[in-house]
Amino acid sequence: MDNLRFVLFVFFIFLSFLLWEQWQIDYGPKPPAVAQTENATPGASAGDLPQRPSDDVTGTAVRTESPTQEGSRRILVRTDVLSLEIDTRGGDLRQLDLLNYPVSKNQPDRPVRLLTDQGDIFIAQSGFIGAAQQVPTHHSIWHADAGEYRLQDGQDVLRIPLTWTDGQGVTVTKTYILRRGSYLIDMEQTIDNRSGSNWTGRQYMQLQRKEPTSPQEDSQFIRTYTGGVLHTADKSYEKIAFKDMADGNLDVKSRQGWIAMIQHYFLAAWVPPGEDESTFYTKALADRVFVIGAYSPPADVPAGSSQTLKARLFAGPKLQHVLEGIAPGLELTADFGILTVIAKPIYWLLEKFHGYFNNWGWAIIFVTLVIKALFFKLSEASYRSMANMRKLQPKLVELKERYGEDRQRYNQAMMELYRKEKVNPLGGCLPILVQIPVFISLYWVLVESVDLRQAPFLLWLDDLSSKDPYFVLPLIMGVSMFIQQRLNPPPTDPIQARVMQFFPLIFTVFFLFFPSGLVLYWVVNNILSIVQQWYITRQIEKTAAARA
């Protein structure tokens, strides 16, 4: 068992897992459609409202507004980084474009549309649930003073106020606050109670999304998580997949929590105020539409007074330093998996090199150099063991010919030869085993980091998050794997040896469709490994020749 075979085997298993995940996404079982009596259009019925808590039930009948399209219109809002549409029905955010993130290099004027009410629906909603009086929900009609708001030159803050009244003295003003250069949208809902009785209501905020019918990534081999996420003080970071929402409703109470719908590179997240305990919930609607949201404790507004409730909506890219400053754990939406503890230092190092070179390609190369240096001694031990195995190869072939098909006697003789020559057959594998978590962590850092999206390197490589358009890097990688294979001792089994010859070709085909940033890492890593292995092998051969 030698180094290369072990690495190839582990990597083959890793690729097989990725392909299995892709098959599950494309052809696996889908959450069953939930039978509903109401119209399936998001926001068209009261079925998508949060369930009113049982302790809110009183003897007084609850009055709610019937869903209606009458009087609704769109408010256009534009800042330097966002373009969005707010519907006066509910004050929903029904369309949101990320102006600094084009869909592709070939379409620089077409921004990524994160929120939409067309196709695979993804919208942000808010409102109130009440106990005994009429309250505004995301079905209510709100009034806006203007139909368009723009962040002007020299202006840092843009406020979009919407008002609702029950006609009996209660006025609610919902204000969205956007800031220059920010993807964070503050929401303030002020209840002005000029009626003759107390007003009580719970503020809710939710994301409504239809499960995507097709993968959103460009690469056939890169599949990242799309679905709900919950973060609480008790449960920390937890994925709430669409299937989980279909299986049952979530009902969790916590402080310092948030909910989100995430996808590759981008997310939308509602962050309730952390000082109060919020209730986090999910609902499954018709036609594979799902809701994840949170509502606050009851807010009591005495007659003749007012109160303001707040929440924050982040809708934008997974910029980790930005997310860290918004809410605890929000940066985890850049999902590095179970190896986050290793991946975060790698991302930090990648950022440091990018700050120096201002080029993510060179950052990847120098991170590879650092990782290779850190594991230099382990790699050295592995390559020395491999070189010693190569030196024993003629004797192993002789044993194979001597004992033929008698596997037991052959294995005994082989182990005796290892003891005599003081060679550990596992010496080439164990050092590599330690490095596998680092390799996988770097893989997810390169896949999940929005910083590398459409980032250019050199010459024809103008997007490190997409495949090499001319397949130059994958071909170089295949050649480097072939050279590494030639440096290793061939298997004594002729069938296994023939199979191993096809491995460089197989992995070259795989890497044809991988993001060029990942292929760049493997090419640099392979080249460094070849140099190191060649040098160590030459040293051992010289020593053996001198002794002879």
Contact assessment for residue 333 and residue 316, using Cβ atoms and an 8 Å cutoff: no
Query: What dihedral do alpha carbons 25, 29, 35, 36 form, nearest 10°?
Result: 0
Question: What mean pLDDT value characterizes the chain?
Answer: 80
103-157 pLDDT, tens digit each: 888 888 899 999 999 888 999 999 998 865 688 999 999 999 998 999 998 899 9
Under the banding of pLDDT at 50, 70 and 90, the label for residue 64 is very low
Which range in 124-138, 268-282, 482-496 is most confidently predicted, on average pLDDT?
268-282
Q: Quick one: what percent of the chain has pLDDT higher than 70?
A: 73
The pLDDT of residue 36 is 37
Length of the chain: 548
pLDDT at 501 over 90: no
Query: What dihedral do alpha carbons 392, 404, 8, 487 form, nearest 10°?
Result: 30
CA atoms within 13 A on the CB side of 479: 8
Strand-pair partners of 230: 238, 259
Range name among 137-141, 358-362, 486-490 with the lowest pLDDT average: 486-490
pLDDT at 205 over 90: yes
Under the banding of pLDDT at 50, 70 and 90, the label for residue 424 is low
The pLDDT of residue 196 is 82
The three-state DSSP-derived secondary structure of 107-176 is EEEEEEEEEECCCCCEEEEEEEEECCCCCCCCCCECEECCCEEECCCCCCEEEEEEEEECCCCEEEEEEE
Other beta carbons within 10 angstroms of residue 547's beta carbon come to 6
pLDDT at 540 over 80: no
What average pLDDT does this structure show over 44-63?
Answer: 59
Question: CA-to-CA distance for 88 and 94, rounded, in angstroms?
Answer: 10
Q: Are strands 199-210 and 122-130 parallel, antiparallel or unpaired?
A: antiparallel
Structure tokens at 208: 């409504």
513-538 pLDDT, tens digit each: 888 888 898 888 888 888 877 777 77
Under the banding of pLDDT at 50, 70 and 90, the label for residue 339 is confident
